[in-house]
Structure 1
Amino acid sequence: MLGLTHVLVVKLYLFYDAVVILVPTRELALQTSQVCKELGKHLKIQVMVTTGGTSLKDDIMRLYQPVHLLVGTPGRILDLAKKGADKLLSPEFQPSIEQLIQFLPPTRQILMFSATFPVTVKDFKDRYLRKPYIINLMDELTLKGITQYYAFVEERQKVHCLNTLFSKLQINQSIIFCNSVNRVELLAKKITELGYSCFYIHAKMLQDHRNRVFHDFRNGACRNLVCTDLFTRGIDIQAVNVVINFDFPKNSETYLHRVGRSGRFGHLGLAVNLITYEDRFNLYRIEQELGTEIKQIPPHIDQAIYCR
């Protein structure tokens, strides 16, 4: 799977010659900055990360020191730009992106990286990228190495089905997606009551709590993580080999980002979708739009297709 989604890399001169990497969530900003620091440690590149939920004053003071690469979320970067010092092109982010572009010099360079190419991304490309060079790896990379199944269930059967999956699958780490914050917390409580280790994360949690959960799960402190779509965008956790859509998504873009949390770094992955009667049309449409097949789950799943 393509690792970055809706990441806009902009070469600009807000403060002095620098590169700014804009990402849609705070967790992805922290992850991306760590990668940049690792890649740049032998090049004497100073990397800074800035997101909401932290001190704006401290970030401004940090920018008095050399910063060659700045990683952050759009709102925080825009705050810094205005002072001179959660899907980037979705309705809540696009106005900030467009305002940021107004700070750029005419000689700017903009690069866009996306795992999907919805209409909003195409419209943005047509408006702001001058004669862009397009590299499309979708046919080669989309859902490669991920085996997809569905289990047709009633809503009241979902927790029992999940319990069965836990007992039968060889899970290194799993990410379980729900469609609302309330369902995330309720499901995490149910999973804990069943005797399995479980964390949960969503956008309404305090940032310190989110950071701690993300860090601990990434380091293997817990096997299962229940979350909303906050956690779909570009997050790379190598040990995740199973993704479960406890609630099936409504569009193919969200589905692609969710199941792509498994099968990272060339590893194999497994996606299991719990499908209710109301989900059947979305299942068919997503298969058609992605040109993929989601098969009915068999009684036994060979570990060789998702464990390596």
Structure 2
Amino acid sequence: MRLVRYGRPGKEKPGLIDDEGKLRDLSGVIGDVDAAALAPKSLRKLEKIAQSSLPLVRGNPRFGVPVARVSKFICIGLNYSDHAAEAGMAAPKEPIVFLKAISALSGPDDAVMMPQGAKKMDWEVELGIVIGSRAQYVSEADAHKYVAGYTVVNDVSERAYQLERGGQWTKGKSFDTFGPVGPWLVTAEDIYDVQDLDLYLDVNGKRMQTGNTSTMIFSVAQIVSYLSKLMTLEPGDVIATGTPPGVGMGRKPQRFLKKGDVMRLGIAGLGEQQQEVVAWSAKR
């Protein structure tokens, strides 16, 4: 099942993409794709609904973040061994954990704004985990029971702020629009093997990143279990699980984003995003 939120920013409605690829409205069934809707019992009820009974949505509305009222946006760094190598960093022995501000969240095709003074904006296609049940001290064996589904995340970064200005990585990760998520949330039971998904990212039509989740250093189960021992994971929390090689910082010569660049990225079975880099604006 592919759950979406569609409409103008701040006015999104819940929906789903049916088996024919058509958008259908869920607002008569649930209030939003939120913590209540992501509970295992709620998802089972949604799965039983006859898709043809739901109203079709005409046109091509904007898609927003597929989860409403995200409480935490958690990221895992250097989680692909070949990406750690291109960054000139040792593969971590434990997951590297940092946070992106919730205000960085944006729709999958919304423009990405270039912050004032940005010099080294970079791209990172990542598998996103969406938590469905409250998780505290869960085992790796049980970790998948706490996952509602998966999505695509672009962990947009400003490397100078992240790596050259001291402190934590969060400062280079949290600018407005630096967290495109979507286009939809695919429920966990519809993904045959989350540790065997192809990822890709293009900039201006040129392939920059190619990878597969099979080369993650820490698996989805390991990440969920590990984080649940550091903090309570709540329904709707989004976890970005790291990026494969091919980021701009790791290229020779380095290549960073500039105004007018277009990123296109996706993950097999989870859909595709596209964003244009635009000048910073206070209006969103």
Which TM class, normalised by the smaller chain length?
A: under 0.3
Q: Considering Cα pairs closer than 8 Å and 6+ residues apart, tell me whether 1 or 2 has the greater RCO.
A: 2
The structure with more helix, counted as a fraction of residues: 1
TM-score (norm 2): 0.28
The structure with more strand, counted as a fraction of residues: 2
TM-score (norm 1): 0.26
